[in-house]
Amino acid sequence: MASVAPRLSAIGSGAALELRGVTRMFGALAALTDITITVRPGERRAVLGSNGAGKTTLFNCVTGDFLPTSGTIRFFGEDITRFPPYERIRRGLRRTYQISALFPGLTVQDNVYLACRGVSRGRFSLLRPGANDALMHAAETLIQAVYLTPARDQRVSELAHGQQRQLEIALALAGAPRFILFDEPAAGLSPTERRELIEILTSLPSHIGYIIIEHDMDVALRVVESVTMMHNGRVFKEGLPEEIQSDPEVQELYLGGGHE
């Protein structure tokens, strides 16, 4: 019977991501209090909330950048609560940062190639014939998926802000992710760049689920099927995009100055 328990716990609820009672303290400050959220495989969810609501801290707990003070986090059934970040990446979890993590002196192609190479360690051996071609091909496909083919040989430092954000998405897509956390990908984008971002997100392969933190409700509600609204570190409301948009309490929170 010893083998039954781990097998059952690996099956879990069938969710892609499941947080149960997650609390994160910073000294006396509760950045997250008793967060319970379930996201199905392939589901796309927005997390909304005013500045300081706990959205980025939620991402940090899921990625392992911070550990929760209490509560559990499961990724495709597996308890990852205390896993280091690279173990979560290995299992197909990715994130983009509010602040860019690109190599500014390298070209678009080099950045994407290095990301593909970084996540492929052990899967393709670079000593194997053709491995490098496979990585180059994977990089090209990702560059195309984020509309950066015309800029592939430009250095990151020469790219427009919107193109840098597109490149960050390409890096998150390297190595067959199953789930991506996008932290305010539309921040600082022009209206045209926002439309492009919406297209990129809506044309991602359907098995890839994500959570998007986004202040721009028009962007967020167009690219998701469900919404979690946070307030003061707690889940304030969950629902369909149209329910959240027309909810009087949400409108009051959003229009009432709590939102920057």
Ligand X SMILES: Nc1ncnc2c1ncn2[C@@H]1O[C@H](COP(=O)(O)OP(=O)(O)O)[C@@H](O)[C@H]1O
200 interacts with, out of Mg ion, ligand X, none, CB within 5 to 8 A per kind: none
Structure tokens at 189: 């984008």
Tokens 């960050």, located at residue? 168
> Which backbone phi and psi does 27 adopt, to 5 degrees?
60, -125
Instruction: Out of 22, 32, 44, 56, name the contact with Mg ion by CB under 5 A.
Output: 56
71 interacts with, out of Mg ion, ligand X, none, CB within 5 to 8 A per kind: none
Element (H, E) at 140: helix 131-145
Nearer Cβ to ligand X (56/96):
56
Nearer Cβ to ligand X (65/140):
65
- Please choose, out of 56-64, 79-87, 131-139, 204-212, the segment that lies near Mg ion by the rule CB under 5 A: 56-64
Compute the least distance from the CB of residue 53 to ligand X, in Å.
4
- Please choose, out of 6-14, 52-60, 193-201, 202-210, the segment that lies near Mg ion by the rule CB under 5 A: 52-60
Contacts 24+ apart (CB under 8 A), 62-66: 62/17, 62/19, 62/88, 62/93, 62/95, 62/181, 63/88, 63/93, 63/95, 63/181, 64/88, 66/24
Amino acid symbol at 209 = G
Cβ atoms within 10 Å of 128's Cβ, excluding its own: 9
| Residue 49 within binding range of ligand X, rule CB under 6 A | yes
| Residue 56 within binding range of ligand X, rule CB under 6 A | yes
State the residues that interact with ligand X by CB under 6 A. 26, 29, 31, 49, 51-57
